[in-house]
Structure 1
Amino acid sequence: MAGFLDNFRWPECECIDWSERRNAVASVVAGILFFTGWWIMIDAAVVYPKPEQLNHAFHTCGVFSTLAFFMINAVSNAQVRGDSYESGCLGRTGARVWLFIGFMLMFGSLIASMWILFGAYVTQSQPHAC
Structure 2
Amino acid sequence: MSGFLDGMRCSECIDWGEKRNTIASVAAGVLFFTGWWIIIDAAVKYPSGESLNHSYHACGVIATVAFLMINAVSNGQVRGDGYSEGCIGQIGARIWLFIGFMLAFGSLIASMWILFGGYVAAEGAREVYPGIAIFFQNAFIFFGGLVFKFGRTEDLWQ
Asked if these proteins are the same fold (TM beyond 0.5), I'd say yes
Q: 1:57 aligns with which of 55, 58, 67?
A: 55
Distance in 1 between the 2:6 and 2:71 partners?
25
Give TM-score, length-normalised by structure 2: 0.70
Deviating beyond 4 angstroms after TM superposition, the runs of 4 or more aligned structure 1 residues are: none
> What residue number does 1:45 align with?
43
Which is helix-richer, 1 or 2?
Answer: 2
Letter in 2 for 1:10: R
> What residue number does 1:114 align with?
112
Return 17-26 or 39-48, whichever deviates more. Answer: 17-26
Contact 2:77-2:83 within 8 A present in 1 as well: yes
Contact 2:6-2:16 within 8 A present in 1 as well: no
Distance in 1 between the 2:95 and 2:18 partners?
27
Q: Are 2:42 and 1:12 equivalent residues in the alignment?
A: no
Give 1:37 shift. Answer: 0.9
Give 1:31 shift. Answer: 2.2
Letter in 1 for 2:95: V
Structure with max Cα Rg = 1
Give TM-score, length-normalised by structure 1: 0.83
> What residue number does 1:99 align with?
97
Q: 1:72 aligns with which of 70, 73, 93?
A: 70
Return 20-29 or 110-119, whichever deviates more. Answer: 20-29
Return 55-64 or 16-25, whichever deviates more. Answer: 16-25
Letter in 2 for 1:64: I
Alignment of 1:71-90 (within 5 A): 71-90=69-88
Superposed CA RMSD: 2.1
- Are residues 4 and 25 of structure 1, via their aligned partners in 2, closer, same or farther at CA, if it must alter by over 3 Å? closer
Give 1:30 shift. Answer: 1.9
Quote the sequence identity (%): 64
Q: How many residues align?
A: 124
The gaps in structure 2 that reach 5 residues or longer are 125-158
